[in-house]
Amino acid sequence: MNQELAEIFYEIADILEMKKVQWKPQAYRKAARSLESLGENVKDIYKEKGFKGLTEIPGVGEGIAKKIVQFIETGKVIELEKLKKKIPEGLADMMKVPGLGAKRALKLYKRLGIKSIKKLEEAAKKHEIQNIETFKEKSEENILKGIEFLKRSKGRVLLGYALPIARYIESQLKTLKEVKKAVSAGSLRRREETIGDIDILIVASNAEPVVKFFTEMPVVERVLAKGKTKAVIITKDDIQVDARIIKPESFGSALQYFTGNKEHNIHLRRLALKKGLKLSEYGLFKGKKQIAGKTEKEVYNKLGMCYIEPELRTDSGEIEAALKKKLPKLVGYDNIKGDFHVHSKWSDGSDSIEEIAKTAKDNGLSYIAICDHAGHLKIAHSLDEKRIEKQGKEIDKINKKLSEIKILKGAEVDIMADGTLSLKNSALKKLDIVIASIHSGFRFPKEKQTERILKAMDNPYVNILGHPTGRLIQRRESYEIDLEKICEKAKERKIALEINANPERFDLNDANVKEAIAKGAKLAIGTDSHSKTHLSFLELGAAIARRGWAEKKDILNCLSLKQLMKFLRKT
DNA sequence: GCCGTTTTCGGCCCGACTGTTTTCAGTCG
């Protein structure tokens, strides 16, 4: 619902821009972005808090709220239908071609009657476009390249996929003697679940060789821009990477600016203006004098607030909290002592328990819970009671052998349609830790789904509710649940809600985490590893917790083994 | 169309790069 509405508002913005309407396009886009990053479904907001609730969404006022209501009730927004009649269908699509904005797209339509990407491609191939003033051969070439990119590009990529690529490019850049710093900013540094492009900031003694190196790296497929301080490339796996060369005295303000997000930055710049200052990527200025910019902290402090961690910079209350110095002390990446959700060869994982435990130990963990599938799910080689017992003996052996790491005996059991579990209590009782998850019946209506989960949570042996909403990023919607009720039950029953750190899941997500904490529920990060290399997802789980404003006390993984065992032995 | 510690009108972030231009508009982030 939110995404559909966002797309409608983006389209309205595009058409309005072509019609040379001032300001409204920005307003619609702001609302669209706001909807995209909203944790809650607008439909639920409307149901619970009515029209007023909608206008409380940042960037949504009376006008846009009315359109949201219209969409909820009728499935359409009349304004868009009207606008579409004035501008040929497909024309707004043309703006998706990189380098082609509203004005030039409209010009092509007016002069050549081009009104779709397909027609655009044909015209460019026939060299009809270079005859229009302000278009020449180069424009034609770029349009074709842009269309090609559009066809191949998969859009936003998962954080878990982009992060290693970014780190690799950073490390390559750091091999240059000119490079003093190379740091990724942007949505990657905010640890968003998907990344549009990678932004790398570089401090270098001499920009020229750095730009040359960057645009000629072996991973480069195509160079989009190459200037004195900025270069843009597309990698062979179709990820756009921007590089900026920064002076050391501006490094903090540049890092701040390029870490964003957009709303956060605009908010800060407005605050700066109110103080009679100007904030840009070059620094915070009073007249022509730079008063901050070397570090991010300096910039935030000079604006009258405390430092804001990158993961929080989404303009969703963090600036107000920072001004009042009331930001939470976020859980640290190094506070995470263990992993609660690991599969081994015993079910559908690919490594032995011993291999996994050794890797975990090398990663600095002090405990992991082996939670293989247990019960009826034959396809994942689920363990029955007998095999669980056998596995337990193997774990005992390895525990004796390895020091500094403790392997907990666990299982991931299925929540059946009626809310019972796929393994008998007599078996669950013997385990250190039990994760209950839904692996079937994704489409149950909200009430039934919630009831089913609540019933499972009443089982005395359940410790963690696995991937509570079941969504897969870009692939499957959440199942419909009443998260509020589930959080209340979690608090009451001392059951932790999982933050599944698998990059395709990230479930609970940041907004859910915030809600869970507000309701007093604890959270447990699990990587859902099916191979020892997946154990490194733990940091991504910590990132979600941080984006959800979690503190150490909210996260089970911060407990020492002793404290943890106490938590698990609930009455 | 949105928003308000300059509040119900009058603002709306700021700068780099490109291609086409001969000083700049368009696009992007």
What CATH code is carried by the domain that includes residue A178? Answer: 3.30.460.10
pLDDT of residue A136: 86
| Sequence-separated (6 or more) residues with CB below 8 Å from residue A416 | A376, A422
pLDDT of residue A154: 64
Q: How far is the CA of A270 from the C1' of B4 (A)?
A: 12
Per-residue pLDDT of A336-379, as tens digits, reads: 999 999 999 998 888 999 999 999 999 999 999 999 999 866 66
| Whether residue A311 is found in the same domain as residue A353 | no
Determine the nucleotide nearest to A320 by Cα–C1' distance: B5
In the predicted model, what is the mean pLDDT of chain A?
90
Cα A39 from Cα A20, distance rounded (Å): 33
Number of domains in chain A: 4
| Sequence-separated (6 or more) residues with CB below 8 Å from residue A424 | A385
Q: How far is the CA of A104 from the C1' of B26 (A)?
A: 8
**CA A215 vs CA A36, A141, A152, A218, A476: distances in Å:** 33, 19, 20, 9, 37
Maximum distance among all Cα pairs of chain A, rounded to whole angstroms: 80
Q: How far is the CA of A267 from the C1' of B18 (A)?
A: 29
Q: How does residue A85 score in pLDDT terms, banded at 50, 70 and 90?
A: confident
Tell me, what CATH number does A69's domain have? 1.10.150.110
| Whether residue A400 is found in the same domain as residue A500 | yes
Domain range spanning residue A211? 157-245
| Whether residue A538 is found in the same domain as residue A482 | yes
Whether A474 is covered by a domain: the verdict is yes
Per-residue pLDDT of A9-62, as tens digits, reads: 988 888 888 888 888 888 998 898 888 877 778 888 899 888 998 998 888 999
Residue nearest to nucleotide B24 (CA to C1'): A134
Residue A111 has pLDDT above 90, yes or no: no
| Sequence-separated (6 or more) residues with CB below 8 Å from residue A571 | none
pLDDT of residue A11: 87
Determine the nucleotide nearest to A272 by Cα–C1' distance: B13
Whether A355 is covered by a domain: the verdict is yes
| Whether residue A377 is found in the same domain as residue A301 | no
Residue percentage of chain A with pLDDT more than 90 = 58
The residue from A323, A345, A366 where one domain ends is A323
| Whether residue A389 is found in the same domain as residue A505 | yes
Whether A549 is covered by a domain: the verdict is yes
**Residue for token pair 């392997």:** A407
Tell me, what CATH number does A522's domain have? 3.20.20.140
Beta-strand runs (E) in A378-443: 406-414, 433-437
Which bases in strand B are touched by protein, i.e. have an atom under 7 Å from a CB? Answer: 1-3, 5-6, 11-21, 25-29
- The three-class DSSP label of residue A370 is strand
Whether A546 is covered by a domain: the verdict is yes
**Residue for token pair 């908010």:** A267
Whether A328 is covered by a domain: the verdict is no
Cβ neighbours of A563 (radius 10 Å): 12
Pairing type for strands A433-437 and A464-465 reads parallel
| Whether residue A308 is found in the same domain as residue A338 | no
Q: How far is the CA of A1 from the C1' of B11 (A)?
A: 32
